[in-house]
Amino acid sequence: MATSSTRAREGYRAAVPVDPPSLPPSDEGGTPGLDLAALTTWLDDRHPGLRRGPLRAGLLAGGRSNLTYTLDDDEHRWVLRRPPLGHVLATAHDMAREHRVIKALHELGARGTASVPVPEPVLLCTDDSPLGVPFYVMERVDGVVLRTKDDLLTVPTDARPALTGRLIDTLAGLHAVAPAEAGLADFGRPEGFVVRQLGRWSRQLDSSRSREVPGIDDLRDHLGDHVPTAQRATVVHGDFRLDNLLVRPDGWQVAAVLDWEMATLGDPLTDLGLMLVYWGGGSPADAALSAVADTPSSVPGFGAADALVERYAAATGLDTTPLPWYVAFGYFKLAVILEGIHYRFSHGQTVGSGFERIGAVVPRLVAAGREALTG
């Protein structure tokens, strides 16, 4: 496969460390967390014939959670995903789950029964790992990531509305997948999903407290007092946004949806609400979100949030009246994620750059969440 963008394609999921990090060995080029000699030996033993030359690897810069590497030999171009360095929460960074949903969607796509493009999975290692942690390998897909304003401006003005439509259609296509048909009927517990999500992120917040964040507890309490009833149970991505897609510049089609580490079965409006947080549209948090990714709504032609919601509602038949709650929950979830990353940064347990800006974003996200609830 052709080389993808060298920008990191990481979901900004927090993993709250409970112990000092234990740094795995590096290859000769200094790639942290990836022992190429051990990986080569393991591949030759467990998957003979897969490797066609010496392995070369590089860490994709800027990852905030699971670590993502390019992995190449003389014939193949792959991507390898593994958990972050150091100890993490027991339920976080489940490589088998991430691999499972990608494999299921890829198989549906190959049969022509789903329209959610994902990379082709190559292998999964959950035991006897040469890296000391589970990991999986997938094919590298040709495409670019549209994360910064400069990236967004590379899309021709007349192509932006169509790309926006493809973004929404891809999300609607994911939410149209029948979990049982995909072999994912037991992939999650959709009953009570939103209540459990709120509880989970509340516990994550409590586990990563190192400072006072004004208003975050009030936001959590309000969300807990006004939980909406789910209209449907679907596969949810958990971090769906434009910069978690690979896009082909020769036509601006969606080449692949990435970063499935939060995927489960649940309420599809949680995906839409969080996507709208990242999309932007006048919130005081829009500028702060540039620490994660620039908001597409800041670039002419990508469309306003209302138009995205209208297209999604038409495609799915879902009632979007309760969407303000889901947007507020998206702000809360992202605030907790970034607070966890700030915690890890303050304890020296990160790899990459840009972490010093994360802590300042959190209070503005909280404020935007409270504003979303009040209209």
- Asked if 168 and 298 sit in the same domain, the reply is yes
Q: Residue 11 and residue 14: Cα distance in Å, rounded?
A: 9
CA atoms within 13 A on the CB side of 301: 14
Instruction: For residues 56-71, give the mean pLDDT.
Output: 78
- Asked if 133 and 155 sit in the same domain, the reply is no
- Asked if 60 and 192 sit in the same domain, the reply is no
- Asked if 225 and 274 sit in the same domain, the reply is yes
Q: What is the DSSP secondary structure assignment for residue 16, as one 8-state letter?
A: -
Give the per-residue SS3 of 319-344. Answer: CCCCHHHHHHHHHHHHHHHHHHHHHH
If pLDDT is split at 50, 70 and 90, which confidence band does 220 have? very high
Q: What is the pLDDT of residue 54?
A: 94
Provide the residue range defining the domain that includes 102: 36-139
Residues of the chain with pLDDT > 70, as a percent, come to 86
The gap from C-alpha 250 to its chain's centroid, in whole angstroms, comes to 24
Structural element, H or E, at residue 233: none
Q: Which of 43-57, 67-81, 283-297, 302-316 has the lowest mean pLDDT?
A: 283-297
Q: Residue 69 and residue 75: Cα distance in Å, rounded?
A: 17
Q: What is the pLDDT of residues 286-338, one digit of tens each?
A: 777 776 778 999 899 998 999 999 999 999 999 999 999 999 999 999 899 88
- Asked if 348 and 272 sit in the same domain, the reply is yes
- Asked if 225 and 158 sit in the same domain, the reply is yes
Q: Is residue 20 part of a domain?
A: no
Question: Is 18's pLDDT higher than 50?
Answer: no
Q: Which of 58-67, 179-188, 263-272, 292-301 has the lowest mean pLDDT?
A: 58-67
- Distant-in-sequence, close-in-space partners of 88: CB < 8 Å, separation ≥ 6: 15, 16, 17
Q: Structurally, how many domains does the chain consist of?
A: 2
Domain CATH code at residue 264: 3.90.1200.10
Output the six-digit token pair for 209: 């407290």
Q: Residue 31 and residue 14: Cα distance in Å, rounded?
A: 22
Question: Is the model more confident about 288 or about 84?
Answer: 84
Q: Is residue 322 part of a domain?
A: yes
Q: Residue 262 and residue 174: Cα distance in Å, rounded?
A: 14
Instruction: For residues 341-363, give the mean pLDDT.
Output: 78
Q: Is residue 4 part of a domain?
A: no
Q: Is residue 192 part of a domain?
A: yes
Q: Is residue 27 part of a domain?
A: no
Last residue of a domain, one of 139, 171, 191: 139
Q: What is the pLDDT of residues 235-289, one digit of tens each?
A: 999 999 999 999 999 999 999 999 998 999 999 999 999 999 999 876 667 777 7
Q: Is residue 356 part of a domain?
A: yes
Last residue of a domain, one of 139, 165, 185: 139
Question: Is 78's pLDDT higher than 60?
Answer: yes
Last residue of a domain, one of 110, 139, 168: 139
- Asked if 129 and 218 sit in the same domain, the reply is no
Burial of 225 (0-12, 13-18, 19+ CB in 10 A): exposed
- Asked if 218 and 329 sit in the same domain, the reply is yes
Domain CATH code at residue 64: 3.30.200.20
User: Distance of CA 342 to CAs 66, 93, 248, 357, 358, Å?
Assistant: 16, 18, 33, 9, 6
* pTM (predicted TM-score): 0.85
- Asked if 49 and 92 sit in the same domain, the reply is yes
Instruction: For residues 144-164, give the mean pLDDT.
Output: 95
